[in-house]
Amino acid sequence: MSADVRWDVVTGDLTRCATDAIVNAANSSLLGGGGVDGAIHRAAGPRLLAECRTLGGCPTGEARITAGYQLAARHVIHTVGPVWQGGGNGEARLLASCYTASLTLALDHGLRTIAFPAISTGIYGYPKQAAAAVAADAVNQLLLEEPGGFDDIFFVCFDEASAAIYADAVQAVRSS
Ligand code: AR6
């Protein structure tokens, strides 16, 4: 991993992160939903939905960018995680792609501080330990390819138990 980037796992509310971008665990309509998606739309205000309507949706594993409107974050990167179906339907590849596509979009826009939620681990049912391992590996790979591309990357978990799982996964790739 590049020594230049700070990569931390924190417990808290993603909608309060004052980063260049927060990543939304959206659905393929990009028109809002429950979980962190609903919280982001509530905090950003109705102009976020208006911009999302112009995007025409987003396939699973890809990412799209909007402004952050009333959020502390300047931008929202919307990505669509896979629904957990037991692991045999390309879930890991698609989840890794969410992280890679989000960071690539951030790089394209010169965004250097990015906060991620635990994509797919809520309503979409992805087991947290498996999701954390995929997330950490995908971010680590991208950081190896783009050293110096970012200042801060945060994994923001809603509860301490999830944060411990993501922290273990980050530690595992850091020490590998
Ligand atoms: N800050 C940080 N993490 C949060 C927050 C928050 N404010 N709120 C929830 N989480 P989910 P998914 C955590 O369900 O599984 C929506 O309806 C939560 O504890 O938000 O990718 C979309 O429109 C969990 O660990 O996203 C899609 O239809 C993690 O965020 C669907 O849900 C992700 O949970 C996407 O499901």
Rounded to the nearest angstrom, the distance between the alpha carbon of 37 and the centre of ligand 1 is: 6
Is 87 a residue whose pLDDT tops 90? yes
CA distance 119 to 115: 11
pLDDT at 3: 56
The 3 state secondary structure assigned to the chain is CCCCCEEEEEECCHHHCCCCEEEEEECCCCCCCCHHHHHHHHHHCHHHHHHHHCCCCCCCCCEEEEECCCCCCCEEEEEECCCCCCCCCCHHHHHHHHHHHHHHHHHHCCCCEEEECCCCCCCCCCCHHHHHHHHHHHHHHHHHHCCCCCCEEEEEECCHHHHHHHHHHHHHHHCC
Rounded to the nearest angstrom, the distance between the alpha carbon of 121 and the centre of ligand 1 is: 7
Nearest CA to ligand 1 atom 18: 122
Rounded to the nearest angstrom, the distance between the alpha carbon of 36 and the centre of ligand 1 is: 4
Nearest CA to ligand 1 atom 7: 13
- The pTM of this model reads 0.98
User: Does the annotation mark 168 as catalytic?
Assistant: no
CB 91 within 8 A of CB 80: no
Q: What is the per-residue pLDDT across 114-142, written as a single tens digit (0 to 9) for each? A: 999 999 999 999 999 999 999 999 999 99
Most ligand 1 atoms within 8 A of CB, residue of 10, 36, 49, 58 to mutate: 36
* Domains located in the chain, CATH noted: 6-175 (3.40.220.10)
> How much of the chain, in percent, has pLDDT values that exceed 90?
95
